[in-house]
Amino acid sequence: MREWIEILLRSIGLFILTFALIRLLGKRQLLRMTPFHFVTYTAMGILAIFMAVGLIKNLIFGFLTLGTWFVLIIAVDYLAVKSKQFHDFFHGREMVLIQHGKIMEESLNKQRLTAEELLRELRSKNAFNLADVEFAVMEATGEINILLKADKKPVTPYDLGNKVAPQSEPQTVILDGNIVDEALRNIGLSRGWLTAQLEGMGLSLDNIFVGQVDSSGDLYVDVFGDNIDLPKPKVKELLYATLQKAQSDLTTFALDTENETAKEVYGKDAQKLDEVIKLLEPYLTR
Amino acid sequence: MTVGSKIKQTLASLKGANSTLQIYAAQSQDVETQDVYHAALDMTSEVIQDLEIRLQTVEYEEPQYKGY
């Protein structure tokens, strides 16, 4: 009877302790860990369980072992940050598997990696064709990262020579029907602005699940009722169309008028608006 | 439609575009974007001014079409 209470209390205590220790060790992701990290984390977990179920009778010894592992991990992490050699010694180095489109068989052998495994990894990176891969490297974590050949890379606006408007991260201003004041402050807007926007859309705050403001200050909302179709903000498209209409109007005026000076002014203004349209195109049309 | 009312229509839509631009210039977080909107604002304002002057001339020449 007394034994199970002891195990229960030990389990709870060690659960909290291990949780605290792991949190102190940092936010490293399990999948991205080097084998060394994986072993140390596992060792700490096993130690804690052994102590909980009483396989380690002397609790002091148990805590001593746990503490030593913890301090050693912290020490190794610290030294790995300070020294590159130390880091490579403990965590291993990355290894080039494909260079200039050619597989380095020696590296594969060293990592005991078969051709099938390499191809599988490449496929998981969306490179089904070996011929498309320029460079592949196996990180110390065992993950394989690839660089596609220049002509197989996805096209970016830069490649197309297009200018695009800079976009920073959107701010989530409404969550579950509540206004997030911090996000509003970050983007320099007030609650009054938000309520005015919502009124314009004909929505009340408690209808809204998520609301986001993008970097140009437009509000996008998702409502609870999924059968309600909300019009997407079309202000930018409208503005672009208005400018184009005004520009063509001015051109027509220039053609219609018989007054020479007016003709000239209209022509010049039409050109100015044309410039404005070109300037704003990346910002107004997505 | 008379020339005057056509100009008025264009002028009104341009003024609307101008104020929308002003909103975007104020709302944008990015400095580069703000600069672009301000540059566009300057140019549309010049066009609006030209149109207003032209409208005055037209109304002076054809006073029978004055007003809305």
Contact A276 B37 (CB under 8 A): no
**For B1-68, where are the E strands, in sequence order?**
none
How far apart CA B46 and CA A272 sit, in angstroms, is 9
pLDDT of A28: 66
> Do the first three CATH levels of A95-152 and A171-223 match, i.e. the same topology?
yes
pLDDT grade for B67, boundaries at 50, 70 and 90: low
CB-based contacts of A219-225 (< 8 A; 24+ apart in sequence): A219/A173, A219/A194, A220/A170, A221/A174
Chain B residues within an 8 Å CB radius of A285: none
Strand A219-223 and strand A171-175: the pairing is unpaired
> pLDDT (tens digit, 9 = 90+) per residue, A50-97?
888 877 777 788 888 888 888 888 888 888 888 888 888 877 788 888
Q: Where are the beta strands (DSSP E) in chain A?
A: 95-99, 102-103, 133-138, 144-148, 171-175, 178-179, 208-213, 219-223
For chain B, the 3-state helix, strand and coil shares in percent, each to the nearest 5, are 85, 0, 15
Q: What is the CATH number of domain A171-223?
A: 3.30.240.20
C-alpha–C-alpha distance, residues A28 and A91, integer Å? 14
Residue B66 has pLDDT above 70, yes or no: no
Per-domain residue ranges of chain A: 2-89, 95-152, 171-223, 235-284
Domain A95-152 CATH assignment equals 3.60.15.10? no
> Would you state the pLDDT for residue A217?
79
Question: Has residue A216 got a pLDDT over 80?
Answer: no
Q: What's CA A278's distance to the chain center, in Å?
A: 32
Percent of chain B topping pLDDT 90: 22
Of B33, B43, B57, the CB nearest to A276: B43
Q: How many CB pairs under 8 A join A and B?
A: 84
β-strand pairing of A95-99 with A133-138: antiparallel
Option in B6, B21, B50 nearest A269 (CB): B50
ipTM for this prediction: 0.87
Tell me how close the Cα of A62 comes to any Cα of chain B, in angstroms. Answer: 55
Q: Where are the domains of chain B?
A: 3-65
